[in-house]
């Protein structure tokens, strides 16, 4: 079977070899992206989450790919294939149609201890899904963002 496979970090895998990551920083202004998010409730929550993450991290957000808003970056190395490595946001989120999707806030061991106190969410492989920002404890979310942003490079 031929076709494109994508690894967990957004990189295309061709014939068993890692290609360039498809999710990279772009020059698209975050404010422009957020202005176009629908529905309105997701846009409002996205603007609020962007402000929260900027405040906690102390850095301005950057668009990663077409729909991910990232803060900082670190160099990752896959634990299953050390030849697979690249740069990825330390913490990020995507305001999808049905939920906000924060990335990186559950990766660290100390985050796993705090995650149950977050509030109403569900988990994906490398992310959590939040229906409404009001459904989560803002203080716990701030802690999780700070933990994610403090992560060192894998190298």
pLDDT-derived band at 21 (thresholds 50, 70, 90) equals: low
Read off the pLDDT of residues 51-91 as tens digits, 9 standing for 90 and up. 999 999 999 999 999 999 999 999 988 888 888 888 999 99
DSSP 82: T
Read off the pLDDT of residues 96-155 as tens digits, 9 standing for 90 and up. 999 999 999 998 999 999 999 999 999 998 899 999 999 999 999 999 999 999 998 886
> Is residue 39 reached through a cis peptide bond, with omega within 30 degrees of 0 on the bond before it?
yes
Residues 68, 103: contact at Cβ < 8 Å?
yes
Domains and CATH numbers, the chain: 25-149 (3.90.1150.200)
Q: What is the 3-state secondary structure (H, E, C) of 29-78?
A: CHHHHHHCCCCHHHHHHHHHHHHHHHHHHCCCCEEECCCEEEECCEEEEC
Residues 93, 53: contact at Cβ < 8 Å?
yes
pLDDT-derived band at 1 (thresholds 50, 70, 90) equals: very low
């Amino acid at each position: 079977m031929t076709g494109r496979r994508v690894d967990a970090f957004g990189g295309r895998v061709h014939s068993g070899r890692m290609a360039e990551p498809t999710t990279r920083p772009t020059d698209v202004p975050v404010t422009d992206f957020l202005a176009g998010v629908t529905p309105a409730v997701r846009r409002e929550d996205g603007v609020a989450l962007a402000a929260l993450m900027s405040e906690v991290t102390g850095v301005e957000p950057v668009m990663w790919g077409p729909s991910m808003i990232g803060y900082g970056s670190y160099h990752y190395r896959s634990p299953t294939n050390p030849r697979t490595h690249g740069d990825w946001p330390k913490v990020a989120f995507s305001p999808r149609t049905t939920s906000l999707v924060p990335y990186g806030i559950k990766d660290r061991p100390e985050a796993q201890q705090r995650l149950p106190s977050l509030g109403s969410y569900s988990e994906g492989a490398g992310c959590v899904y939040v229906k409404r920002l009001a459904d989560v404890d803002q203080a716990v979310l701030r802690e999780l963002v700070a933990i994610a942003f403090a992560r060192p490079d894998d190298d």
